[in-house]
Amino acid sequence: MKLHFSLSQMTCVNVPVNRLLNKLDNEHLETSSKVNLLNLDQQAMKAFFADMGEKAFRASQLLKWLYQQDIDDIDTMTNLGKALRTRLKETCEIVMPEVVYEQPSKDGTVKWLLRLTDGNCIETVYIPEGDRGTLCVSSQVGCALKCTFCSTAQQGFNRNLEVHEIISQVRVAVRTLGGGVKDGRAITNVVMMGMGEPLLNFDNVVSAMDLMMDDLAFGLSKRRITLSTAGVVPALDRLREVSDVSLAVSLHATNDELRNQIVPINKKYPIHELLASCRRYIADKPHRKVTFEYVMLEGINDSVDEAKELVTLLEGIPSKVNLIPFNPFPGTDYQTSSREVIDRFQETLINAGLVTIRRKTRGEDIDAACGQLVGKVQDRIRRSARFGVIKQVN
Ligand code: SAH
């Protein structure tokens, strides 16, 4: 696959991002009262045109321009007619986040740092593997959950991303990688596994995923979109009613005592409630499985006994297990489990009949691996200060 990088973008690779970000001036941010057309999924777009007294097919035309033709200039959308284009230009805009840098890794992984109009920055990562290209998309600026092994958590939390900020991550990646989104193209899969907890930004994430699946937009199949959650049970139950994307659950522990510590949202929604909700999620979906993510933390959750407990816990749930070697970041006391320990853990699960994949660590040289996405968050809950570590990518 051919990647298109300009020279100026490439030079960013060796520039400490801290310095780059410090140069960004937040005081000149523009606010706009116009409707960003990238904020509207098909339903919202139809309602928008209905409000204007226009026919519903206008929504289809506009979505195709935005996502299939990748056009941002309303004047280019000639089939809308001149009068409608003029009205649209008065009330609407098409605004994307600014690409601060685009950083390719040695293994083909690409990470983008995107600056939002309020000055916050988020990260998006592309991971090619064989005939599959997965885009890892962020859902929030930072994260309000406090998973102890995740560096995004240390950044604190600022706000939910708008629909346009989520779907723009796909547009930005498509522009770099070429070829659009669909089977056989650069991006074949999307995982909501970037910064943030997607189920805590429910409506916007659902709308953005709808656009990813919409044939008028990116047309990805529901199986190729995966939402990953730390386990917000009521929202997961709601998701079942409005969407049927693939589900990944960050389990990481086999008992509540440990999970309460490392995934604190477990205190609110303990393991048995979470697993019951997973069962409900796939109850009427034949052939679907829940992916359980399990980060391998040395001496914490990686014993053979825990592997056996995991087998017992997942009995009766069509599942896949994804073992993730812990990706370290500055300031953390955790270590990743050794290869032998992960092998033994995996073997125990496989021998019990569980499909178990060991996730390769990708994009390590650019801090693009799971839990290493940090962006630049104007922390509103002051967690970064409490941690005493304000880590930036560099
Ligand atoms: N909030 C969502 C999605 C974001 S993280 C969730 O919790 O599922 C995507 C995955 O990476 C999660 O399974 C998360 O637990 C895992 N992860 C976070 N930090 C990690 C780290 N340092 N090393 C390996 N995996 C990590």
Q: Which residues line ligand 1 (CB under 6 A)?
A: 147, 149-150, 193, 197, 228-230, 250, 293, 295, 324, 326-327, 370-371
Predicted model pTM: 0.89
Helix (H, G, I), strand (E, B) or coil at 7: helix
The active-site residue out of 102, 123, 197, 306 is 123
The CATH T-level fold of domain 35-93 is: DNA polymerase; domain 1 (1.10.150)
Where, residue-wise, is CATH 1.10.150.530 in the chain?
35-93
pLDDT at 9: 30
Ligand 1 closest atom vs CA 336: 23
Tell me if residue 98 is catalytic: no
Q: Provide the percentage of residues in the chain whose pLDDT is more than 90.
A: 73
Distance CA(25)–CA(260), nearest Å, equals 40
Name the residue at shortest CA distance from atom 13 of ligand 1. Answer: 250
In this predicted model, what pLDDT tens digit does every residue of 348-370 receive, in sequence order?
999 999 999 998 777 767 666 66
Give the Cα separation of 177 and 68 in Å (integer).
15
Segments of the chain assigned to CATH 3.20.20.70: 9-30+96-379
Asked about 370 being catalytic, the answer comes back as yes
Q: How far is CA 87 from CA 61, 101, 254, 322, in A?
A: 16, 34, 57, 50
Question: Given a cut of 80, is residue 93 above it in pLDDT?
Answer: yes
- What's 359's DSSP letter? P
Q: Which CATH superfamily is domain 9-30+96-379 in?
A: Aldolase class I (3.20.20.70)
pLDDT tens per residue across span 275-333:
999 999 999 888 899 999 999 999 999 999 999 999 999 999 999 999 999 999 889 99
Least reliable range by pLDDT among 170-174, 332-336, 380-384: 380-384
Q: Which of 83, 175, 72, 151 is nearest to 374 (CA)?
A: 151
Which mutation among 134, 154, 228 tests ligand 1's pocket best, with the greatest number of atoms within 8 A of CB? 228
Give the separation between CA 242 and CA 206, rounded to whole angstroms: 8
pLDDT above 50: residue 262: yes
